[in-house]
Structure 1
């Protein structure tokens, strides 16, 4: 059991508490270049995988006892650990569950991220979100991309802020496992992915190609059919209106996820998970 420091923060109205709480808003995040990671799962992953980005770690004594691995990793990384009362942590964030980190925002550049992603013996897999505005959906797709073995996620166009607290929570720590690029247009994302030898596939119910059919022939050099075994950048559209025709036209092909039952459609996160796992399987 790591040593738990003494309580040093007991006033929920202190200036430090207000500064941390303010990071739940986009303006404060932009001004300070920092964001919140709330709850033990996200904090555990950022401390393990990106300790160099952690500015401060806040815990209650009870949470430190419940999650000794977080405190142990933080002390090993020589991070600033502040022990506060439950009232202080609640004032900082209603979703902290007694564990909260203030993290420096990273801004990976698209071309560099693509050039350094993946490995020489494996095709690239990229997820591109086009004007995805729901934070829960965006975070869930980042988590699914991580689970499927994707190398990179791009939030293009008018997508939600990746450091929105709900996005960060929805990633369940996957935000710290792979690069997430923002601040580019969909056209820029598509051009960069194609330059990195990725076939660009738009996921849409109107697609010419059936995902199952493509998976059946992946790696077989079937003529005039996109090969899922090659480097692939999947483009996923907005929750409400999907991918408009001009966005679909940017892709090399449009692919539909087959609907076997009576469901009218799949939601964004589910469709993205199915597509990314199909590519992950083809790449293996």
Structure 2
């Protein structure tokens, strides 16, 4: 495959006359990845859309194959060229085959087949992250993906999916991360209880976000309680953190509500907590260079 650098268009794709259909074995196998048991069994997942594909290609040794309709491979010739330079196969497919491997109502024509890349907790902690988000028993993929994206934006080094949490490789979760899935260390832990002990052993203060926490976030920040490496525990929007997990934390912290709202949703509360830590963790309190949202 070659890309014309002048026109920025895809001039040639290997096996250019071949179009994968819904019955092509590789498409049949990719479609099975909509099911968690097949994702876990094969250690593969799908990343849909140009933003997710771009970030996946930027991560080393993650993308196994790039699928796209002829029109999409022409439109996103830069992504096809990146894949080709990385020796990632680029395969053309029909609109019907695209519909088979995507989950959105209006797919953008390009999908990456990726390898799962989650790490053991110990490996992630050996890298000494200063900010960690742990999602315990969070079932909603949109919420989980949004929290992961927020953690990335706040500068977290790792995100942990603990207990009966949603699969981070779930298609809706992957899309909700907007590519952030590929930016930080990802951990899956079957039992959340040992996670707290390991986080503390690694030198992190463990804080449980709770609407009924005895510690006010503003008071904690003003007292310098966020100025050391921190791991935040977040529970499901419907049920919050399991009681035993909240009790195991160093403190249970509530976000102050200054208006009449009954509560914040999970994603908003996580954003407030993570950014409070990000601000406190800045070296010397100086403002780092940052991109605008």
Q: TM-score, normalised by structure 2?
A: 0.88
Aligned to 1:98: 109
Query: Is residue 79 from structure 1 mapped to residue 85 from structure 2 by the alignment?
Result: no
Aligned to 1:229: 227
Aligned to 1:111: 122
2:121–2:189: 8 Å Cα contact kept in structure 1? no
d(CA) in 1 for partners of 2:161, 2:103? 27
Aligned to 1:264: 262
Compared with structure 1, are the counterparts of its residues 90 and 127 closer, same or farther at alpha carbon in structure 2 (3 Å cutoff)? same
Q: TM-score, normalised by structure 1?
A: 0.91
CA RMSD of aligned residues (A): 1.4
Moved over 6 A (4+): none
Query: Is residue 9 from structure 1 mapped to residue 15 from structure 2 by the alignment?
Result: no
Compared with structure 1, are the counterparts of its residues 151 and 10 closer, same or farther at alpha carbon in structure 2 (3 Å cutoff)? closer
Tell me the alpha carbon deviations over residues 224-283 of structure 1, each in whole angstroms, 9 at most, x when there is no partner. Answer: xxx201010100111211123222111000110011111111111111111001100000
1:36–1:165: 8 Å Cα contact kept in structure 2? yes
**Unaligned 5+ runs, structure 2:** 1-7, 283-293
Residue 23 of structure 1 aligns to a residue whose secondary structure is helix
Aligned to 1:166: 172
2:69–2:98: 8 Å Cα contact kept in structure 1? yes
**Unaligned 5+ runs, structure 1:** 119-123, 219-226
Aligned to 1:223: none
Residue 129 of structure 1 aligns to a residue whose secondary structure is strand
Residue 107 of structure 1 aligns to a residue whose secondary structure is coil
Aligned to 1:34: 44
2:189–2:195: 8 Å Cα contact kept in structure 1? no
Residue 34 of structure 2 aligns to a residue whose secondary structure is coil
Aligned to 1:222: none
d(CA) in 1 for partners of 2:247, 2:98? 48
